[in-house]
Amino acid sequence: MDDTIVALSTPYGESGIGVIRLSGSASIEVAQKVFKGKRNLKDVPSHKAVFGYVINPQTGEKLDECLLLIMRGPHSYTGEDTVEFYVHGSPMLEELIIKLLVELGARLALPGEFTKRAFLNGKLDLSRAEAIIDIIQAKSEAGLKSSFIQLQGRLSGEIKPIMEDLKDLIAELEAGIDFPEEVEISYESIKERISNIIERLSNILGGAYFTRLYRKGLYCPIVGRPNVGKSSLLNILLGEERAIVTPIPGTTRDTITESISIEGIPLTLIDTAGIRETQDLVESIGVNRTIASIENADIVIWVVDASEPLMEEDLEIEKITKNKKRVIALNKIDLPDRLLYIETLELYGPVVEISCKTGEGIDRLRSKLKELLGSIPSPELVIPINSRHEALIKRCIGRLSTALEGINIKFPIDIIAGEIWESYNILGEITGETTSIDIVEEIFSRFCVGK
């Protein structure tokens, strides 16, 4: 990690200014070679901008005017000596300066490498570092707020004390193993403490649904057999002709994803290929995607055609959406030769009668969706956790539950201690204490270059 890295930290393209960032022990020395100001950079105080010129180190020729900011480690984003050049936002110029800096010994930074260094230098734990990418990619104000709360350490603030408690438990159990004569383990108290930790973790898990909602919107596939009007419904909810609508069954083959907001709730609508048995390869891939989208759904809209009786294929869809929050849209109620009525469907859940042709019932459908989604708390009230954290916490609860069971059936104490060690390590993956380097690399590779 002792090499010095460089990258453009503003987006590539013509802009007001461009920021080129260097980080590493040789930053100031390398920067000095392409900079000419009133003072030598080693005499410039930290966090104070200085004016000067970017120069070609070979010829001394001035290339641009610039501001330069030195942030000496550990008081910098990465924890290392950092230099930022603020130059005119010209891609030609930026490329030229970066090329010079690389010739002088800096190395091009990898995606997320500045933040990775911040993490490795202990400036922030892993869950806080992950919040940074969510801030950059935020799609809604609620998402931004939730990510910022994570950056402030809200999740780590919950996890770290639990890890401490687990450590205390392990110490006690190990004392009992090492000195069975002197230390008597109180199983009742241990059980109580494990149960308490499970409860606290379950409480944190409660934030997963809302965090996803704030950041990504809820995932809502529109499903049904071919030709019932799924694409028509997507279009009417979006207010634009996004998906192709035709009377030919099997029109939609790939999934189409669009975001809407229903009274402030961000909803990701997915128009899907109608589910049916098909010999057509493209269509069957579409059908598989539809099935996958149902698995990930927070809520589904199941569309049924009022002008036809319920068919085998409708009932198939009923089955695979059964365990999901679901609203049934009984479509095409404008047609005179109506065969299917609301009473038949109410058995399967809430039904709204609609017509994508006349627009009737669409407002009622929106209200029903909102009603099913329930009220949404403000992001400040929710512990932010992403899907990685969620999976880890679930695994941890699994281990602790095994430990509890182990105590009940009088398992040897070292096995129980082993389970608690595992749960400690799993939580450490959230904060980064015990995360493997592969996972750390994978997380930072999702960042942009220059961050």
Ligand X SMILES: Nc1nc2c(ncn2[C@@H]2O[C@H](COP(=O)(O)OP(=O)(O)OP(=O)(O)O)[C@@H](O)[C@H]2O)c(=O)[nH]1
Residue ranges binding ligand X (CB under 6 A): 224, 226-232, 245-247, 249-252, 274, 331-332, 334-335, 355-357
Considering the complex, what minimum distance in angstroms separates the CB of residue 25 from ligand X? 60
Which amino acid is present at 203? Answer: N
For ligand X, give the closer residue by CB, 57 or 250: 250
For Mg ion, give the closer residue by CB, 27 or 232: 232
Measured CA to CA, the distance from residue 417 to residue 381 in angstroms comes to: 34
Contact flag: residue 431 with Mg ion (CB under 5 A): no
Considering the complex, what minimum distance in angstroms separates the CB of residue 11 from Mg ion? 36
> Which region among 30-38, 76-84, 137-145, 252-260 touches Mg ion (by CB under 5 A)?
252-260
Which amino acid is present at 390? Answer: E
Q: DSSP string of 144-212? A: HHHHHHHHTTHHHHHHHHHHHHHHHHHHHHHHHHH-TTTPPP-HHHHHHHHHHHHHHHHHHHHHHHHHH
Residue 52 contact among Mg ion, ligand X, none, beta carbon within 5 to 8 Å by kind:
none
For Mg ion, give the closer residue by CB, 82 or 252: 252
Six token digits for residue 223: 């499903």
Question: Which residue in 231, 290, 431, 435 binds Mg ion (CB under 5 A)?
Answer: 231
Measured CA to CA, the distance from residue 77 to residue 59 in angstroms comes to: 33
Contact flag: residue 251 with Mg ion (CB under 5 A): yes
Q: Which residue has the tokens 């999901």?
A: 324
Instruction: State the residue number with the nearest CB to ligand X.
Output: 274
Residue 127 contact among Mg ion, ligand X, none, beta carbon within 5 to 8 Å by kind:
none
For Mg ion, give the closer residue by CB, 117 or 230: 230
Identify which of 181, 136, 176 has the alpha carbon closest to the alpha carbon of residue 11: 136
Question: Which residue in 252, 321, 331, 435 binds Mg ion (CB under 5 A)?
Answer: 252
Identify which of 315, 131, 136 has the alpha carbon closest to the alpha carbon of residue 224: 315
The DSSP element (H or E) to which 389 belongs, if any, is helix 387-408
For Mg ion, give the closer residue by CB, 32 or 321: 321
Measured CA to CA, the distance from residue 231 to residue 274 in angstroms comes to: 10
* Binding residues for Mg ion, total number by CB under 5 A: 4
Residue 227 contact among ligand X, Mg ion, none, beta carbon within 5 to 8 Å by kind:
ligand X
Q: CA of 117: how far to CAs of 123, 291, 307, in Å?
A: 8, 41, 62
For Mg ion, give the closer residue by CB, 252 or 293: 252
Residue 328 contact among ligand X, Mg ion, none, beta carbon within 5 to 8 Å by kind:
none
Residues that bind Mg ion (CB under 5 A): 230-231, 251-252
